[in-house]
Structure 1
Amino acid sequence: MLEEGFPCSADPDAKVLILGSMPGRKSLDEQQYYAHPRNAFWPIMASLFEFSADIDYEKRLGMLRSNGIALWDVAHRCVRPGSLDSAIRLPSVIINDFEAFFHDHRKIRAVCFNGQKAAELYQHRVVPTLPAGSAHLPVLRLPSTSPAYAAISFGDKLAEWQKILNIL
């Protein structure tokens, strides 16, 4: 089944764009980015930007926006049985409109990826479609916050994700 992702959460003056690949099953069901209770995304963001990971979802999004963070996914639509990035059927991927995004968000300094699949999709499917200025933005691949990526600890993930603060 073709699944559809979420709209971008961003203020016009956002400085960092964080991209996932496509929301997982729990996120799609809840209609919230990173809704799986064991996903480390919100605890990491809460630590970086000093808010409680337990606050209301809209307030969490607002905390990111107020700190210059835009949140989105590379895929607008795709077929992915389950939640694993490895299950994304690449021929089915329809990417989001990044040309329009970068036109409307001219202060973006860097694009950060929540995991390898988001970085790969962006490099192969998005960069070739972008105007030169947007195509040459610095990129940073960060460790996936997914509970399926257990190769490194929460503390190590947090240490890597802190690199965003240097961009802001």
Structure 2
Amino acid sequence: MLETHPFGSFVPPKARYLVLGSFTTKEAFDAKKKAAYVWFYSNGRNQFWPILESLYKTPLKTRLAMQQLFSKLDMALADIIYQCERKKNSNLDINLTNIVYAIDDITSILETNTIVTIFFTSRNVEDKFRRIFKGLISRYPNIKLVTLPSPSPRFTMKLAKKIKRYQSLLPSLSKS
């Protein structure tokens, strides 16, 4: 079954940073689990929001709280995949097929904002971006490309170390 990204992108006014992931998990499409899946990375096992809660010392339990933090940071959020199908009903990126990339959406974000850094949520996302979006990289050569440690629980780095790496890479609230 073809799935279309349920969240689109989030772009606050005057965004300077962009966080790119791959595609939302199947839980975002499951009627029974949808209420608990409030926004990007809301799968209970994903460590993205717990990392940011620790880093920015703020609770991030609601979509509004998450969006407010990203607005304060001048940070946009999107996924590189607009539509896809899943093999084996799996969340793993390697099981995503018939992929349609969000080229228009990401192009629009870069055209209408002064993005200085793109943060990737994994090496896999960075690799796909470099391959699929190479025209944008050529068009915007001054944008810094930075890969964050994957927030996936499958990535074996300890949470405390992930928090430390995110802290060294992401903007602080005072700098944004």
Scaled to the shorter chain, the TM-score interval is 0.7 to 0.9
Please state how far the C-alpha of 1:132 moved relative to its aligned partner. Answer: 3.7
Deviations 1:32-71 (A, max 9, x none): 21111121111111222221133x2222122112221111
- Indicate yes or no: 2:48 matched with 1:47: no
Contact 1:22 / 1:76 at 8 angstroms: preserved in 2? yes
Is 1:152 aligned with 2:137?
no
- Alignment check: 8 A CA contact 2:12 2:70 kept: no
Displacement of 1:136: 4.3
- Unpaired runs of 5+ residues, structure 1, are none
- Partners of 1:135 and 1:79 lie apart in 2 by 32
Residue 78 of structure 2 is matched in structure 1 by: 72
2:8 corresponds to = 7
* Matched AA of 2:166: W
Q: TM-score, normalised by structure 2?
A: 0.82
Distance 2:50 2:137 in 1: 35
Q: How many Å apart are 1:75 and its aligned residue?
A: 0.7
Any conservation in 2 of the 1:127–1:135 contact (CA below 8 Å)?
no
What is the aligned partner in structure 1 of residue 67 from structure 2? 61
Q: Count the aligned residue pairs.
A: 162
CA RMSD of aligned residues (A): 2.0
Q: How does 1:11-50 map to 2 (within 5 A)?
A: 11-29=12-30, 30=34, 32-50=39-57
Aligned residue for 1:76, secondary structure, equals strand
Q: What are the Cα deviations for residues 84-139 of structure 1, in whole angstroms up to 9, with x where unaligned?
A: 112122xx221112221111112x111001012211211110122x2744254110
Alpha-carbon distance in 2 for matches of 1:51, 1:101: 26
Contact 2:9 2:77 in 1 (8 A): yes
Query: In the alignment, is the contact (CA less than 8 A) between 1:119 and 1:141 conserved in 2?
Result: yes
Q: Which amino acid aligns with 1:26?
A: E
Matched, 1:161 2:162: no
CA contact (8 A) 1:19 1:111 kept: yes
CA distance in 2, matches of 1:27, 1:147: 18
Q: How far did residue 28 of structure 1 move?
A: 3.8
| AA of the residue aligned to 1:138 | K
Instruction: Give % identity.
Output: 23
Unmatched runs of 5 consecutive residues or more in structure 2: none
Give the secondary-structure state (helix, strand or coil) at the position aligned to 1:43: helix
Indicate yes or no: 2:65 matched with 1:83: no
